[in-house]
Amino acid sequence: MEDNKKTILIVDDEKTIVDMLVYNLQKEGYNTLEAGDGEQGISIALEKRPDLVLLDIMLPKMDGLAVCKRIRQSLNIPILMISAKDEEIDKILGLELGADDYITKPFSVRELMARVKANLRKAEITSKSTQIVQHKIQEENESTIVVGDLSLDLNKFEVKVRGEVIDLTLREFEVIKYLANQPGQVVTRETLLEKVWGYEYYGDIRTVDVTVRRIREKIEKDTSNPKILITKRGVGYYIASREITK
């Protein structure tokens, strides 16, 4: 495989969908890998380390949600879930899984390709940003953002609340970092979708809501009365700029 070509792993047991995805992805210049069941998907993902995974939920041997969780434990790569039911988003992007994105059947090839490109672009930008941040840290020793009881270590990609390390996915960290860089300033969900997810179009903003809810489960004492990551009803989200009372 050429080093400059991104590799996409397709995990789906429907041959017609796999053939369609392979054809269109290769036409766009991507390498493709295929797996017909969940166990094979995990095996290929861990061995070949693709740049992105397209993962169906309904799979033989092991369902896509379990596969997502297993891959996420070992690899920090974009995972785009393919769902037959729109209402499954909460599960797909659930706390224990950490999927980056989802798309529901039936989907257009154009939309799927846009999602693939956006997720790959974001992963690449994040990787480059890490190098830039680390270089900047070495030059200026600016390695942390502190807002109230929230502390971000940009070098370690680590978040602490009241000194306790919080385990966030890369996407969750990026959301917190974007908001913490402008404490007290309300950011719309559309802006977060564009800046953090990298979409050039208005995708499903519920993706943002579910990710924010997942972050709150990890950082807030009481998710029904958040003190750190606040909702401005009808507008968006912001990080509280004041000190957080215990």
In the chain, what are the domains? Answer: 7-121 (3.40.50.2300), 143-239 (1.10.10.10)
What per-residue confidence (pLDDT) applies to 137? 44
Q: Is the pLDDT of residue 243 over 70?
A: no
Amino acid of residue 75: L
Q: Is the pLDDT of residue 140 over 50?
A: no
- For residues 194-220, give the mean pLDDT: 81
**Percent of the chain clearing pLDDT 70 (strictly above):** 82
Question: In 3-state terms, what secondary structure has residue 238?
Answer: strand
What per-residue confidence (pLDDT) applies to 138? 47
- pLDDT, tens digit, 9 for 90 and up, residues 55-78: 998 899 998 888 988 898 888 888
Residue ranges of alpha helices (H) inside the chain are 15-27, 38-48, 64-74, 89-92, 109-140, 170-180, 189-195, 206-219
Distances (CA, A) of 129 to 60, 114, 159: 38, 22, 17
**Percent of the chain clearing pLDDT 90 (strictly above):** 33
User: 175 or 199, which is more confident?
Assistant: 175
User: 126 or 1, which is more confident?
Assistant: 126
- For residues 215-230, give the mean pLDDT: 90
CA distance 209 to 219: 15
- pLDDT, tens digit, 9 for 90 and up, residues 21-43: 999 999 999 999 999 999 999 99
Q: What is the pTM of this model?
A: 0.63
DSSP 7-64: EEEEE-S-HHHHHHHHHHHHHTT-EEEEESSHHHHHHHHHHH--SEEEEESS-SSS-H
Q: Residue 43's CB: how many other CB atoms inside 10 A?
A: 12
pLDDT band of 153, cuts 50, 70, 90: confident
CA distance 33 to 160: 38
Q: Is the pLDDT of residue 89 over 90?
A: no
What per-residue confidence (pLDDT) applies to 147? 87
- For residues 105-132, give the mean pLDDT: 77
Q: Look at 97-106, 126-135, 139-148, 166-175 and tell me which has the smallest mean pLDDT.
A: 126-135
pLDDT band of 245, cuts 50, 70, 90: very low
Angle at 231 between CA 225 and CA 236, to 5 degrees: 170
Given a contact cutoff of 8 angstroms between Cβ atoms, the answer to whether 118 and 93 are in contact is no
- For residues 132-139, give the mean pLDDT: 48
Q: Is the pLDDT of residue 225 over 70?
A: yes
Tokens 């830039």 correspond to: 132
Tokens 């397709």 correspond to: 10
CA distance 147 to 42: 39
Show the tokens assigned to 73.
């434990």
Q: Is the pLDDT of residue 129 over 60?
A: no
